[in-house]
Structure 1
Amino acid sequence: MQTDLALGAAIRPSPTEGCAACETQAFELCAACRRCRCHRHDGCERDLNCVFCRIASQEAPATVVRDWGDVLAIRPRGGVHPGHTLVMPCTHVSDAGTRPEVTARTMECAAALAAQLPAANIITSKGAAATQTVWHLHLHVVPRADGDGLPLPWTPQQTTEGTR
């Protein structure tokens, strides 16, 4: 891939230029790696079956709050509290323990958003036992206020049977 030295930005070929891997003309190229679908994204760091990768590739809709280039902040559907934001890397990483450097960068961006709030939770999960349901690293930034009534699973406010 070429780079514009003046801007330091990658120059992506247009879809009419063809696949970056096999040079065939392809109608539908991956927005992330510019390869045709026949290559199953060899070398691409995104997973077509992952909704967050599709959002990062602009192949699925999302309300983007902030875009750092390598990390996105989006509004979740049905957020748990006003201002609830998901912060996710554009690279496919399944959870916080898979690639610590990507997790650290994603946390840095989440912390930048939380710094603008008087109070917030930053939450992620690793593994099904920890309530992970989407297998793409993401952090929830949830604005908080005294008396907002939003319990965390391990607080005395939680009344589910079996809570310690």
Structure 2
Amino acid sequence: MLSPGKYDVGALTIGNNALSSIRVPANWRVTLHKNSGFGGAKLVVHGGEIALLDDAWNDEVSSIVVEEPVVAYADENFSGRAALLWPGIYDLSELGLADDTLSSLRVPVGHGVTVWENGDFSGASFEVLESTANLGVNNDRGSSLEVFQR
């Protein structure tokens, strides 16, 4: 099993051009690349899927990116309404979370989140660089956010 990260041809324990199927954990995604260096054609496989690679991809994968999403929660201790977030920018209202309800964040290694108090990415901001069960003084203060890789 591969942990979240980037695996170029030399790091693939299965070997180059040897992959014929893949199982992706729920809520994760894996991007398969035909060329080393994460180049060439790519195929994205989403969590919960078992993919048997067709003739176009069978034994044709040279690099892989495994990603686990950031999860934003409306309540403390990683509970309540939740939204899965990939690198990008978001307004809480777009995610099904009410304004000023962000209370905890599950942040996988290699990611970070900048949270702003206003919906237009303005006002005071703070960063979260690891999973945080209670945002403390910043609890219920976020309205927009950016998920980034670091």
Shorter-chain TM-score category? under 0.3
TM-score by length of 1: 0.26
Point out which structure has higher relative CO (alpha carbons under 8 A, 6+ apart).
2
